[in-house]
Chains A and B, each alone.
Chain A
């Protein structure tokens, strides 16, 4: 508990929390400005100021209230299923974002800026999808095999980046960005060939995944939440163990903090690059399985959605700490789920949520800004003479 508090009050975690808070405040201002009600009432604010403040309160409170009802608990719903549906939606969105976020966190901690979440999710989804659609086996073999295929798919695609960096010195940022295009275009191509396209379909859609390869929908079919949630928690624990308890993770971190010292200590840098990117990609691949074998149940072009990029923010917001990534992933899942209700009920453009997400990135990227706003003192640092 003491350690949890320390993590939480330590400069870094605090900056993350404050960044989120600041973003919501700025988001609120934007919601108010974009509200037509507020715009009209301000024209006669001198005559009837109460109207203006009412409109202000309604727009901001209404929007965030709608977000709450869309993301956590809908207290206005008429039956139990509708009431708890929002939180399950949040978890359904949070699952792939967190998994991919963990993958990127592993890379970030090892000093590699992996931007290839999208591509690695797609490769995981393609491998898992192919096994899930075309292989016919009993459930207890088929499902693990399909998940494993997804992990391997993402892992290989990631490891290839590590190999290119080790062998040629290629910059991983550029390579992963380009690999995202390769993955997207390859998926788009395969969805138009018999390899993945549903027979008789003219749309770029695959046949559905067989039931024997699907995640367990433990709350029934009316919810989109599934066994991927358990896989996500296992992935958090795995990543924590990898980074904090394993010797392999120790070498990853050594490479991340000081590649020179790692080299002098006899750590094989090239091999470590391959392993880091392999594991990083494997976790994103797992995110792909959660989509194709769970939420979506078949392969489309939109299988990776924006999860690959959300995962970057989530990894940064979570300070590349597995538990932090989990919290950030849940927050982003909630933002996504809540945004839909916010738009439907309050007519607040869904883009406001995108703005809030972007502001979070901005505030995290500029810790001094957040410190200045909230007057947080920088953690004591001895300055050398």
Chain B
């Protein structure tokens, strides 16, 4: 083992090319993963912030918040279902926001939510009309605590009380107001789709523990009027999220495949170069297993170095990217996953050299091997 470590230390040049290529692959992989996580976070923050056990849409909405409409009667039916411990109304309207210091046509797309139930992700709804919590990404647009933004064609004024993190929706910043404020803004700006008290777009349901099969029972209680989804189902139902994830995962998979090929080619070359050395070592009594373990160890170390550099680059990028610009976020889980993928790729890549190591004949070390 220490033979392969000594070779790495004393002949770093021999592994330089592989290290550089694997580092670039690691950076690419972690960058892709970070973009996916950033995009997903920007699309799903508002749903995740609810920390709901179930989200209830109307069944005709195709599980879309903007198309969904819940009547007071259904809300009562849902609240009465056994196992439901809390129901909060949720409404949203997507508008352009005018921010002080920006030109009159320089609109920032925002989603204004009206909500009833606070969660770990959201403070209590503002009590006074015309007030809202703002997503922290609005800071990048120049919004500060206490500022007033004007939303929609009616220029409804919203005063920003403070900021909340990770509550973006469909790639847009959000404002979190009371249901009353939401209805006011909706009715001022979308007179064709007025909402009256009691009407909401979705219900955020908290359940008591061991309430199994609750979604089905809720939909039964409303006579099929509602469609109840778990939080992760609601996230998958967001337009584009699943497609985005699938596209990115395919690119990530392809990148891992390229890593396997790079490791396979590189260590196959190194193994060919070492056939003489392996012959001598086998003649001296080294087993194939030990020699191959040395190859694996070198591949793992080279890959680990590449991943460490890639992870540092991803963290550095995450630190310098201003909120609300590139949707990039470096999460520990993503960096660990990428490292594990590449390490597995390195092991698989090395396996292509195994046969060559096994076939080395110690007899070739002695004479011409007559």
Tell me whether A and B are bound partners: no
